[in-house]
Amino acid sequence: MTVLVLGGTAEARALAAQLHEHGAAVVSSLAGRVAQPRLPVGDVRVGGFGGVEGLTAWLREHEVRAIVDATHPFAERIATNAFHAAHAADVPLLRLARPGWQPGAGDRWHWAADLAEAAAVLPGLGTRAFLTSGRQGLAAFAGLDALWFLIRCVDPPGPPLPRHHEVLLARGPYEVPAERDLITGRGIDVLVTKDSGGTMTVAKLTAARELGLPVLVVRRPPRPSTTETAEVTEAVKWALNR
């Protein structure tokens, strides 16, 4: 019997490692959007399942006993497909969700429902934006010709891109001093990010607070309601007892 772990997040890798240590058969599924992902221990598959029907068939074929959705908070399609496929195949599903970021004293946060709203709000907050929302969805900012963007992502982004931009290829974790130097060195006056949560990229928020910069934060998309935890150890216990 197999435990299917969805996602290439740090939490997904930690979960796969701990389940492997307990002798569980684990298959980690990665979306394949990153050219050189950090691979978890155990078996790994890359790419989509073919929608709800394809995932349902895969669950039955591989006799999956439990699914842990540890995908990125903004990976809404696979989360929805997993919810419906788990129901169809009668396989228990747990969402391993890292907590979202919360503003603290001194933060100048502005919230947007999605990338389109963020693009509409952004011109009122600054002219030189540090865009850290990932390479998916950059088209939302492509028409903002009056702004300059520092676009940071893991792999090279494809068009359309904003007319005035610099692409910085990098992978976290990041440190506050380096983030502060990057922001001041490029003359950044506004930070744009998704509410990804976690510690890998939180340094940019600390640097923005120290420098008094406004931060435009895109809210997480809604997810289907299911059993949920924020702790890897709890997810391990849950999966081992299915």
At residue 91, the pLDDT reads 98
At residue 32, the pLDDT reads 75
Nearest to 130 by CA among 220, 74, 211, 221: 211
Q: CA 193, CA 197: separation in Å to the nearest integer?
A: 10
Q: What angle do CA 88, 94, 100 make, to 5 degrees?
A: 130
Q: 108-218: which CATH architecture?
A: 3-Layer(aba) Sandwich (3.40)
Nearest to 29 by CA among 59, 9, 7, 55: 7
Q: CA 220, CA 67: separation in Å to the nearest integer?
A: 21
2-99+222-240 shares its CATH topology with 108-218: yes
Burial 1-35 (b: 16+ CB within 10 A, else e): ebbbbbbbbbbbbbbbbbbbeeebbbbbbbbebee
E-assigned strands of 7-132? Answer: 25-30, 43-46, 64-69, 93-96, 108-112, 128-132
Structure tokens at 114: 């999605």
Per-residue DSSP letter, 202? T
User: Do residues 31 and 45 lie in contact, with contact meaning Cβ atoms separated by under 8 Å?
Assistant: no
Residue spans of the domains in the chain: they are 2-99+222-240, 108-218
User: Do residues 118 and 218 lie in contact, with contact meaning Cβ atoms separated by under 8 Å?
Assistant: yes
pTM, entire model:
0.90
At residue 33, the pLDDT reads 74
Q: CA 225, CA 93: separation in Å to the nearest integer?
A: 10
The helix/strand/coil state of 76 is helix
- The mean pLDDT values, 10 residues at a time, for the chain of 242 residues are 92 96 95 80 92 97 96 92 97 96 96 98 98 94 98 95 97 96 98 95 97 98 93 97 91
Class of the domain covering 2-99+222-240: alpha beta
Residue recorded with tokens 């989360």: 79
